[in-house]
C-alpha cells in the first residue's frame, strides 16, 4: 500500500479560459514514488493542469485530491504546506542573493525573531545537500552560478519547504547533456531513497523514455492516454501527442556552400551589465550552409547574435553582411543589407502581442506600394490578403489573421515570426531558438523550412539551446564558452557528449577561428 498508493488524484478537472477549454474533464492518479511524465503539444493543457495542482489556478469544475485530502482552496501556500513543490521553467530566484538565502526564502531562519540568520540558512542548506546528495555552492550569489546549479537551487528550495511531490516544468530545456544526466540521477536518487514523487513536464521524448515510470499524453486539453513507459516507444508517443503519425524524415541537403555572406572579425561585445560577453570572436558564414552555435545559456551566444543584428552595440571588431560593413548600425539598416532575424525571445522581441496577426506579418513590408493608397493610407484589403496567404503557407493555426498575436499559442506565435522573417528572402538568416517551446509537429515543419532556405542558398547562423536541433540542422558547429569559440566541427565529426565538454570549457581546440 505504501507504493502504488495515489498521492494525487485529479477528478474530472476542467479549466475554461475565455474561448479556450484548456483542460477538458481530466481524471488522473499519480502514485507515490513514481516518476510521471506529462507530455503534449503546446497548448495541450499540461501547464494548466500543473498550475491547478500547484494552486495557482482554480479549476472551473472537478476536484483535486492531494494525499487523500480534497483541495478546498486553490492557493500555492496551502498546497506547499501539503508537500507539493514546483520548479518552473523560468527560475524564480533572486539573482543577487546567495544560494543559501534563496533556498530559505519565505521561510527564513531568524535571530531574535527579527534578524535574518545567515549562518543558520547556510547550515540548513548544507544539511539538505547532505540529506539529498545535491551539492551547491551555498555562499555564492545565484547570478554567478551555472543554469544547471540554479536548477538545483530551485529543487533544494522546494525540498526545504518539505516537498514530497515535485513538479518539474521542462527541466532540461536549458541544460547540457551532462547536466541533464546529472539531473536524472538526482531524480532517481530522491525517488528511490526518499520515496518522493516526481512529475516531469517535457517535450523531449527520449527523456521520457529514459526517466519516467509512466507517461500521460495530453492533446487539446484532454488526457488521451496513460501508459507504462516500458510499453511504449518515442515514435508511438509522438503520434499520440500529435494525433497522427509523425515521421522525422531525414532532412535532405543539396547544393554546395557558396561565397562568404556573413563575416565577423574580432568582435567584442558587453552584456547588459557592461561585462565582456563576446571576446575577440571571429567567424565566417557562407551561402548555402548552416552554422550552428552550441553553447550553454549565458555564454555569449545571445550577445553575439544581438550584436550582429544591431540590437545591442558592438565594443570593437567588424561585422560584414554581403561585403557591406554593418558594425554598429541600427537593426533596420542591417536588415536592408540583406539579413533577417528570428529572435530568441519571441514575446519580447519577435511580435507585438497587442497587434493583430496580420499587422505582425506585415511589419517590414508596410512601406511597399502595394500596401499603400495615395502613398500613405494603408490598403487594409491588400494587407489582409497578403497576411492570409502567408498564414496559410506557413500552416499557422489560430483564430485567423484578425485576432491578436498575443492570444496565440507559443508554437503558432513562433510560426508567425518564422513566416515573416523567412518571407523577406534575405541571403543571410540569423535564427535563435527556432523551436523553443514548440510542439513536435511544428518542429518538423520549422526544421524543413530552415533546410529549404539553406538549400536555396541562404547563409544561416543558428543558435539553439536544444543540442539535438543544432546537430540535426548544422553543416558546421561551433562551441562557445564564456564568449570564446572553443571548437569548430563539421557535422558528424563529433558526438554530443564531446561537444558538451567543449561547451563547458573542459576541452578546447587551439587558436580557434570558425
Residues that bind another protein (CB under 8 A): 14, 16-18, 60-61, 309, 311, 330-332, 335-336, 341, 343, 348-355, 359, 362-364, 366-367, 371-372, 376-378
Contact of 340 with 334, CB cutoff 8 Å:
no
Q: Min. distance of Cβ 483 from another protein in angstroms?
A: 23
Contact of 317 with 504, CB cutoff 8 Å:
no
Identity of the residue, 124 or 416, whose beta carbon is nearer to another protein in the bound complex:
416
Residue in 329, 331, 378 with CA at minimum distance from that of residue 355: 378
Grid cell at residue 127: 544539511
**CA 142 to centroid of chain Cα atoms:** 20
Identity of the residue, 112 or 367, whose beta carbon is nearer to another protein in the bound complex:
367
Instruction: Mention every residue, 6+ apart, whose C-beta is less than 8 A from residue 231.
Output: none
Identity of the residue, 296 or 361, whose beta carbon is nearer to another protein in the bound complex:
361
Q: Min. distance of Cβ 366 from another protein in angstroms?
A: 5
Identity of the residue, 150 or 463, whose beta carbon is nearer to another protein in the bound complex:
463
Identity of the residue, 209 or 355, whose beta carbon is nearer to another protein in the bound complex:
355
Measure the N-to-C terminal CA separation of the chain; round to a whole number of Å: 59
Q: How many CB atoms lie within 10 A of CB 332?
A: 9
Q: Min. distance of Cβ 346 from another protein in angstroms?
A: 9
Q: Min. distance of Cβ 223 from another protein in angstroms?
A: 17
Distance CA 345, CA 234 (A): 28
Q: Min. distance of Cβ 320 from another protein in angstroms?
A: 19
Identity of the residue, 335 or 454, whose beta carbon is nearer to another protein in the bound complex:
335
Q: How many CB atoms lie within 10 A of CB 88?
A: 16
Identity of the residue, 141 or 311, whose beta carbon is nearer to another protein in the bound complex:
311
Q: Min. distance of Cβ 378 from another protein in angstroms?
A: 5
Q: In the chain, count H helices and then E strands.
A: 16, 24
Identity of the residue, 137 or 353, whose beta carbon is nearer to another protein in the bound complex:
353
Cα-based angle 134, 170, 434 (whole degrees, multiple of 5): 130
Q: Min. distance of Cβ 82 from another protein in angstroms?
A: 24
Crossing angle of helices 177-194 and 147-160, rounded to 10°: 20
**CA 435 to centroid of chain Cα atoms:** 8
Contact of 219 with 26, CB cutoff 8 Å:
no
Identity of the residue, 281 or 334, whose beta carbon is nearer to another protein in the bound complex:
334
Identity of the residue, 114 or 376, whose beta carbon is nearer to another protein in the bound complex:
376
Q: Min. distance of Cβ 330 from another protein in angstroms?
A: 7
Contact of 62 with 14, CB cutoff 8 Å:
yes
Identity of the residue, 281 or 413, whose beta carbon is nearer to another protein in the bound complex:
413
| Secondary structure in 3-state letters for 449-470 | HHHHHHHCCCEEEEECCCHHHH
> What residues does 263 pair with on adjacent strands?
284, 320
* β pairing state of 35-40 and 214-219: parallel
Q: Min. distance of Cβ 376 from another protein in angstroms?
A: 5
Q: Min. distance of Cβ 213 from another protein in angstroms?
A: 32
Identity of the residue, 310 or 500, whose beta carbon is nearer to another protein in the bound complex:
310
Phi, psi of 216, deg, nearest 5: -110, 135
Identity of the residue, 257 or 400, whose beta carbon is nearer to another protein in the bound complex:
400
The burial class, CB within 10 Å (0-12 / 13-18 / 19+), for 316 is: exposed
Distance CA 189, CA 132 (A): 8
Q: Min. distance of Cβ 79 from another protein in angstroms?
A: 20
Distance CA 171, CA 50 (A): 14
Containing 385, the helix (H) or strand (E) segment is: helix 380-393
Distance CA 207, CA 39 (A): 11
Q: Min. distance of Cβ 77 from another protein in angstroms?
A: 21
Distance CA 321, CA 310 (A): 12
Q: Min. distance of Cβ 109 from another protein in angstroms?
A: 37
H-type helices in 63-176, by residue range?
Answer: 76-81, 99-104, 118-132, 147-160
> Which residue has 510542439 as its cell numbers?
439
Distance CA 419, CA 410 (A): 14
Amino acid at each position: 500500500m505504501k507504493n502504488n498508493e495515489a498521492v494525487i488524484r485529479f477528478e474530472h478537472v476542467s479549466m475554461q479560459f475565455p474561448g479556450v477549454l484548456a483542460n477538458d474533464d481530466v481524471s488522473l492518479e499519480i502514485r507515490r514514488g513514481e516518476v510521471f511524465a506529462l507530455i503534449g503539444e503546446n497548448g495541450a493543457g499540461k501547464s494548466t493542469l500543473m498550475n491547478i495542482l500547484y494552486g495557482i489556478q482554480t479549476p472551473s469544475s472537478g476536484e483535486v485530491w492531494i494525499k487523500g485530502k480534497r483541495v478546498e482552496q486553490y492557493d500555492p501556500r496551502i498546497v506547499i504546506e501539503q508537500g507539493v513543490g514546483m520548479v518552473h521553467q523560468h527560475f524564480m530566484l533572486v539573482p543577487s542573493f546567495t544560494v543559501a538565502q534563496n533556498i530559505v526564502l519565505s521561510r527564513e531562519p531568524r535571530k531574535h525573531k527579527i534578524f535574518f540568520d545567515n549562518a543558520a540558512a547556510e547550515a540548513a542548506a548544507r544539511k539538505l545537500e547532505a540529506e539529498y546528495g545535491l551539492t551547491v555552492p551555498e555562499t555564492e550569489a545565484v547570478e554567478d552560478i551555472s543554469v544547471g546549479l540554479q536548477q538545483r537551487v530551485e529543487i533544494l528550495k522546494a525540498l526545504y519547504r518539505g516537498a514530497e511531490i515535485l513538479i518539474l516544468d521542462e527541466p532540461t530545456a536549458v541544460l547540457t547533456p551532462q547536466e541533464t544526466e546529472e539531473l536524472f540521477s538526482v531524480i532517481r536518487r530522491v525517488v528511490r531513497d526518499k520515496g518522493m514523487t516526481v512529475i516531469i513536464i517535457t517535450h523531449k521524448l527520449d527523456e521520457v523514455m529514459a526517466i519516467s515510470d509512466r507517461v500521460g499524453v495530453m492533446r487539446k486539453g484532454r488526457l488521451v492516454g496513460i501508459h507504462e513507459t516500458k510499453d511504449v516507444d518515442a515514435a508511438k508517443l509522438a503520434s499520440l501527442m500529435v494525433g497522427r503519425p509523425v515521421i522525422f524524415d531525414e532532412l535532405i541537403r543539396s547544393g554546395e556552400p557558396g561565397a562568404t555572406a556573413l563575416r565577423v572579425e574580432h568582435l567584442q561585445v558587453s552584456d547588459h551589465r557592461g561585462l565582456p560577453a563576446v571576446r575577440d570572436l571571429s567567424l565566417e558564414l557562407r551561402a548555402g550552409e548552416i552554422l550552428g552555435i552550441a553553447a550553454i545559456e549565458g555564454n555569449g551566444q545571445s550577445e553575439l547574435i544581438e550584436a550582429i543584428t544591431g540590437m545591442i552595440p558592438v565594443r570593437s571588431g567588424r561585422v560584414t553582411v554581403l561585403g557591406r560593413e554593418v558594425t554598429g548600425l541600427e537593426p533596420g539598416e542591417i536588415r536592408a543589407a540583406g539579413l533577417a532575424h528570428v529572435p530568441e525571445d519571441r514575446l519580447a522581441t519577435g511580435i507585438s502581442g497587442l497587434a493583430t496577426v496580420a499587422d505582425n506579418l506585415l511589419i517590414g513590408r508596410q512601406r511597399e506600394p502595394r500596401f499603400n493608397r495615395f502613398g500613405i493610407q494603408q490598403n487594409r484589403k491588400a494587407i489582409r490578403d497578403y497576411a492570409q496567404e502567408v498564414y496559410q503557407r506557413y500552416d499557422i493555426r489560430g483564430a485567423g489573421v484578425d485576432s491578436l498575436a498575443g492570444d496565440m499559442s507559443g508554437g503558432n506565435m513562433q510560426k508567425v515570426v518564422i513566416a515573416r522573417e523567412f518571407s523577406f528572402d534575405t541571403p543571410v538568416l540569423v535564427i535563435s531558438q527556432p523551436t523553443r517551446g514548440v510542439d513536435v509537429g511544428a518542429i518538423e515543419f520549422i526544421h524543413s523550412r530552415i533546410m529549404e532556405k539553406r538549400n536555396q542558398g541562404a547563409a544561416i547562423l543558428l543558435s539553439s539551446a536544444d543540442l539535438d536541433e543544432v546537430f540535426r540542422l548544422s553543416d558546421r558547429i561551433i562551441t562557445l564558452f564564456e564568449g570564446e569559440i572553443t571548437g569548430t566541427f563539421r557535422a558528424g565529426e563529433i558526438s554530443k557528449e564531446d561537444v558538451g565538454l567543449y561547451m563547458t570549457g573542459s576541452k578546447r581546440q587551439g587558436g580557434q577561428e570558425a
